[in-house]
Amino acid sequence: MAQEQKTGRASGGGKVVLITGASSGIGRTCCEYLAGLGMTVYGASRSLSGGDAGNFKTLRMDVTDDASVRDGIKNIQELQGRIDVVMNCAGYGIAGAVEETSPEEAMAQFDTNFFGVHRVCRAVLPIMRQQKGGVIINVSSLAGLLAVPFQSFYSASKFAMEGMTEALRMEVRPFGIRVALIEPGDFKSEFPANRVNTMDSVKSNIYRELLERCVGVMREEEKNGKAPLPVARLVERIINDPSPRLRYTIGPFEERLGPKLKSVLPYRVYEYLFMKHYKLV
Ligand SMILES: NC(=O)c1ccc[n+]([C@@H]2O[C@H](COP(=O)([O-])OP(=O)(O)OC[C@H]3O[C@@H](n4cnc5c(N)ncnc54)[C@H](OP(=O)(O)O)[C@@H]3O)[C@@H](O)[C@H]2O)c1
């Protein structure tokens, strides 16, 4: 028992957890890890189809679809009588210059990465308020703190999600609901393969060379990303913390240094270093 408490294995048991974006990458690793601790875990995504995936349960859910989100969460509530933890992990990236991103492409990015989180929060909050407690963990990115060139709408969607989460946390604390943000650097997942290139950026040559240089650096960093187990351990820590922080950056040290440099250096110096890193100067 003493050993169990030391590893945190006893404290998470019995909790009912929903994780969106659970078919691969960070979401899937978190599902497997938390289920391994004895939690009842539901992993949701568009391609999951119900039933079990190894040690966790799955649910088909598209976070861009109100009814799909509502029905999925109602289903868990009916089966389990409660939802203790929600981790909003569903998301994807989009690459292209601002000028070469259509409003439709930008809105689709926000529909998943920002409004998807909003939909899930809206559906689960009445349940958490009624049970007088719960934990919401929103997966942002270091790109939610540092806007990345040619990832403008991905960064913007995460910046927006950070703003909503910051406010949400204060709104729901009086109801005993804890809210935190995880801001990962690069971890191995299907994220690079699922990234969408904007249509105009594929057709045009205007930014091609700059975009290729910048995305090339990004791809190299992504290739070196480690398996997302540390994120799952962090999620466990947040779930078991009665008073979690708002923000947790996680990932390679050099990547986590970025937000610190942005906050202490004169902005022009930071910007120059950032552009140099991405081979834009
Ligand atoms: N890996 C990294 O280095 C990294 C770094 C910073 C932040 N992040 C963030 O971490 C989160 C997870 O990404 P990942 O790296 O694990 O990438 P991933 O392997 O591509 O996983 C993304 C997940 O989101 C799901 N998804 C996408 N659109 C969805 C929708 N409309 N409704 C429901 N599920 C949807 C996908 O499943 P389906 O296709 O089956 O729906 C998949 O399960 C994302 O929010 C991402 O922005 C990742």
pTM score, two decimals? 0.95
CA distance 25 to 18: 16
Contact assessment for residue 34 and residue 41, using Cβ atoms and an 8 Å cutoff: yes
Residue 1 has pLDDT above 80, yes or no: no
Ligand 1 neighbourhood includes 194 CB (under 6 angstroms): yes
Q: Is 226 a catalytic residue?
A: no
Instruction: Ligand 1, residue 93: give the atom nearest the CA.
Output: 47
Q: 3-class DSSP state for residue 42? A: strand
CA distance 20 to 96: 26
Q: Is 140 a catalytic residue?
A: yes
User: Please, where are the H alpha helices in 81-147?
Assistant: 103-113, 115-130
CA distance 266 to 103: 33
Q: Decide which of 15 and 12 is more confident.
A: 15
Q: Whose CA is nearest to atom 42 of ligand 1?
A: 21
DSSP 8-state code for residue 239: H
Question: Within 13 Å, how many C-alpha atoms sit on residue 183's CB side?
Answer: 23
Q: Is 154 a catalytic residue?
A: yes
Output the CA 144–ligand 1 centroid distance in Å.
15
CA distance 4 to 48: 32
Q: Tell me the Cα Rg of the chain.
A: 19
Concatenating the DSSP letter of every residue in 211-248 gives HHHHHHHHHHHHHTPBPSHHHHHHHHHHHH-SS--SEE
Average pLDDT in the 214-225 region? 94
- Domain locations along the chain: 2-277
Encoding tokens for residue 38? 């004895």
| pLDDT per position as a tens digit, 115-173 | 999 999 999 999 999 999 999 999 999 999 999 999 999 999 999 999 999 999 999 99
CA distance 58 to 101: 34
Percent of the chain with pLDDT over 70: 96
Average pLDDT, the chain: 95
CA dihedral 145, 164, 124, 104 (to 10 degrees): -80
Instruction: Ligand 1, residue 48: give the atom nearest the CA.
Output: 40
Average pLDDT in the 193-206 region? 97
Query: Considering Cα of 48, then 51, then 52, then 58, what sign does the dihedral take?
Result: positive
**Which of 56, 92, 196 to mutate for ligand 1's pocket (most ligand atoms within 8 Å of CB)?**
92
Q: Among the options 154, 207, 248, 278, which is catalytic? A: 154
Residue with tokens 């009665």: 242
CA distance 85 to 168: 15
Per-residue confidence (pLDDT) for residue 255, from 0 to 100: 96
Output the CA 175–ligand 1 centroid distance in Å.
29
| pLDDT per position as a tens digit, 82-115 | 999 999 999 999 999 999 999 999 999 999 999 9
Contact assessment for residue 184 and residue 82, using Cβ atoms and an 8 Å cutoff: no
**CB-count burial class (<10 Å; 0-12, 13-18, 19+) for 253:** exposed
Per-residue confidence (pLDDT) for residue 12, from 0 to 100: 65
Q: Whose CA is nearest to atom 7 of ligand 1?
A: 141
Ligand 1 neighbourhood includes 109 CB (under 6 angstroms): no
Residue with tokens 């991905």: 154
Q: For domain 2-277, say whether CATH 3.40.50.720 is its number.
A: yes
